[in-house]
Structure 1
Amino acid sequence: MTPSLNSIISRLHVKQLRLLIALGDHGSLLKAAQQVALTQPGASKALQEIETTFGTPLFNRTNRGLEPTEAGHCAIRYARLIHTDLTHLREELVGLSRGRGGRVAVGVIMGAVPLLTDAISTLIAAHPEMSVEIVEDTSSALLSQIDAGRLDLAICRTTVSQTPQHYESVKLQDETLAVIANVRHPLRRAKKLALKDMEKYRWVVYRANMPMRLLLEREFREAEIRFPMHLLETTSAFATLALLQGNPSFVALVSIDVAQFFASQEMACILPLRLASRSEPYELVTRKGAPLAPAARLLIEALYDKQGIEF
């Protein structure tokens, strides 16, 4: 039977978490003990105490050393998360004690990356001691991380959530989409294109049921053209760019901000295809009722300033 949460909290120590991490890194009790400044018997006793605390064996003892069980892998993963959170706590406390700095964790969907990085550049210029963690993912994944307290805020969309009422959201910017390609694409010099002209090319797109993908499917449907069957699906801007660089015939649907950034660096070209459908706007999202750290407030102010929104 798994012990109660109160039992685990009262018995678990930070040094035990460090031992778990070291055991995950080395698979050796001796090396782990050396890393956390324990004797080998002391580390063995600490491991027994940890397994008693969790009520289950965390490692199998083998001739090759200690191999984590399924429960062990789980415990090591959460030990790393707790250690990281404590590191971030210290960074934020140091910033607060100095009257500046601090730390903020922010999520962003691919299309809004240029919008976010522009605001962060302004913020860091004014607060050089601030630390910022940027997580790029889908709206659904980012909202889950906000729920778990791992992100202070995110630029994404609450429309993908079944419980949008759990969030505070402010519209930041409408999203305009563009089609990009390798600078050597056969259509790079075209003056005007229709969707029919793009039918034979391989598309790099978001996964099914995501807003940008649904918009593209609607464009094909309204043009009475069959949607491409063989797609390259990714939510990564870097993967999108790498695919375009690797094959001059590929095309990709991205936000105009991402498209203009790639084009300005001569990494891709924007094809003259006008899309009739409108995409959903970007939202700045926080957890409803959750207190905002000073660093998070500063980033929100920077984002609002860029969009002319009053904080």
Structure 2
Amino acid sequence: MPPTLETLMSRLRLRQLRLLMALDECGSIHKAAEQVGISQPGATRALNEIESTLGASLFARSARGLETNDLGRCVVRYARLIQTDVAHLREEMIGIQQGYGGHLAVGGTMGAIATIVEAIVKVRAEQPSLSLQVIEDTSIGLLRLLDQGRIDVALCRSNFGRRPGDYHSHGNFPEPLWVVANPHHALAAIEEPDFTTLARQAWIVYPVSMPRMLEQEFVAAGLSQSVQSIEISSTYAILAMLERDSGVLALLPEGIAREQVGRGRVGRVNYRFRTPNPAFELLWRRDRELSPAARRFIECYDAEER
């Protein structure tokens, strides 16, 4: 039976987690002990204590040394996350004590990243020592990171969360969509292509909401055929796919699409997508106080969007 949270909080120590990471990296008690700065018997004793607390073995022992098992990999992964959080804690403490710096983690969906960067640049100009993290993900992924405390603020859609009321919602930012393709795609040269022609193509879409919107567009056009969709959650990968495959279409947020059309990387297909794309919001947890850096980011984002 897994230990209770109270047991873990009272018995696990940061030094033990550091040892687990060293064991995973070195595969040897002797080398891990040297890396952490303790004796080999001390490392063996500490590992036994950890496994006793967790009620399970974390490593397979063999003549070649230690190999992390499935449970061990899970624990080591969280040990690394805790190490990162402690590093962020230290940075933020230094920033508060010295009146500058700190840590800011912001997440956004594909269409929000460009405006996030503009606001981040403003914040950085004022606080050059600020430690920054910017994450692109789907709304579901970003809300999960918010809930875990991994990011301070997210630009996404609260309706994808299990409990939208858990978040402060600020602003309502529309995200119109363009249909784009490789500049050499035949449809990029047609003045007014009909959707029946477009429907025969393969479509690259951002996961979760865009596949549904594309299906709704098919239904609105009276088409019963299935959608040929390729789901990609990376802006770079979408653009790379369009550059290399002249036979696919993609749905991109207007801001990204306009910039890439201007650079000649993609061509716009002159079709007005009728299914509305829900606006995104600035979200943060109601049960957590925003850091000064996060509050300043929101102010800069507001100014950028006006």
Describe the superposition over 1:278-303 as per-residue Cα deviations: whole angstroms up to 9, x where unpaired.
21101111111311111111111111
- TM-aligned CA deviation for residue 217 of structure 1: 1.6
Distance 1:227 1:32 in 2: 58
Q: How does 1:78-89 map to 2 (within 5 A)?
A: 78-89=78-89
TM-score (norm 1): 0.92
Residue aligning to 2:244: 246
1:159 and 2:164 matched: no
Distance 1:116 1:307 in 2: 10
Residue aligning to 1:234: 232
1:126 and 2:143 matched: no
Whichever residue aligns with residue 19 of structure 1, its letter is L
1:264 and 2:256 matched: no
Whichever residue aligns with residue 90 of structure 1, its letter is R
- TM-aligned CA deviation for residue 256 of structure 1: 0.4
- TM-aligned CA deviation for residue 162 of structure 1: 3.1
Whichever residue aligns with residue 222 of structure 1, its letter is A
Residue aligning to 2:147: 147
- TM-aligned CA deviation for residue 9 of structure 1: 2.5
Q: How does 1:1-311 map to 2 (within 5 A)?
A: 1-207=1-207, 210-308=208-306
Distance 1:264 1:278 in 2: 24
Distance 1:275 1:258 in 2: 16
Q: 1:258 to 1:226 in 2, by over 3 A?
A: farther
Distance 2:287 2:52 in 1: 37
- TM-aligned CA deviation for residue 227 of structure 1: 4.6
Describe the superposition over 1:18-51 as per-residue Cα deviations: whole angstroms up to 9, x where unpaired.
1101111121212211211222222112111211
What is the DSSP-based 3-state SS (H/G/I as helix, E as strand, rest coil) of the residue aligned with 2:188? coil
Describe the superposition over 1:88-132 as per-residue Cα deviations: whole angstroms up to 9, x where unpaired.
111111222221221111111112111211211222122211122
8 Å CA contact 2:179–2:273 kept in 1: the answer is no
Whichever residue aligns with residue 298 of structure 1, its letter is R
What is the DSSP-based 3-state SS (H/G/I as helix, E as strand, rest coil) of the residue aligned with 1:83? helix
Distance 2:73 2:114 in 1: 36
Distance 2:147 2:8 in 1: 23
Q: 1:122 to 1:266 in 2, by over 3 A?
A: farther
- How many residue pairs end up in the alignment? 306
- TM-aligned CA deviation for residue 196 of structure 1: 2.4
Whichever residue aligns with residue 124 of structure 1, its letter is R
Distance 2:189 2:55 in 1: 67
Q: 1:8 to 1:263 in 2, by over 3 A?
A: same
Identity in percent: 39
User: Any unmatched runs of 5+ in structure 1?
Assistant: none
Whichever residue aligns with residue 97 of structure 1, its letter is Q
8 Å CA contact 1:194–1:274 kept in 2: the answer is no
- TM-aligned CA deviation for residue 231 of structure 1: 2.0
8 Å CA contact 2:139–2:156 kept in 1: the answer is yes
Distance 2:261 2:75 in 1: 45
What is the DSSP-based 3-state SS (H/G/I as helix, E as strand, rest coil) of the residue aligned with 1:187? helix
What is the DSSP-based 3-state SS (H/G/I as helix, E as strand, rest coil) of the residue aligned with 1:18? helix
- TM-aligned CA deviation for residue 228 of structure 1: 4.4
